[in-house]
């Protein structure tokens, strides 16, 4: 009987001690326990040039893939030809915007492909030369 009372009392004490700890998030606890700040968010952290070009390179590749696939499916679904589509875009007055939307991802992706080939085969792979 005394053992049961002692167990109940220690269980209640543990619950009282654990209640404030349960309210704090595990992330805040781990940061507090190690006495270091949380990781900076992308809104306050400046990405290095190499990281920005890498993200843009991948985005251009995805945009070109989606664009060419969507264009092919759209032309197949409507039965239009490519010259008819180009004429329609020119008449709508968005020709320069359409040219930029095709030329920028293609040129950027091609240029970065050359840069990667240089890194792999020639030189320029050291951190000091990248940034």
Sign of CA dihedral 113, 117, 123, 127: positive
d(CA 67, CA 109): 14
Supply the DSSP symbol for 123.
S
pLDDT digits 0-9 by tens, 28-72: 555 555 666 667 676 777 888 888 888 999 999 999 999 999 999
pLDDT digits 0-9 by tens, 119-128: 777 766 666 7
């Amino acid at each position: 009987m005394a053992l049961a009372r002692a167990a109940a009392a220690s269980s209640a004490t543990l619950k009282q001690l654990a209640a404030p700890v349960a309210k704090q998030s595990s992330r805040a606890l781990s940061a507090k326990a190690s006495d270091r700040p949380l990781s900076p968010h992308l809104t306050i952290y400046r990405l290095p040039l190499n990281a920005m070009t890498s993200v843009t390179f991948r985005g251009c590749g995805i945009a070109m893939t989606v664009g060419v696939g969507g264009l092919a499916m759209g032309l197949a679904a409507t039965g239009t030809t490519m010259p008819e589509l180009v004429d329609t875009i020119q008449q709508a007055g968005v020709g320069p915007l359409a040219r930029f939307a095709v030329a920028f991802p293609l040129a950027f992706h091609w240029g970065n492909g050359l840069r990667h080939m240089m890194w792999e085969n020639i030189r320029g792979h050291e951190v000091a030369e990248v940034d």
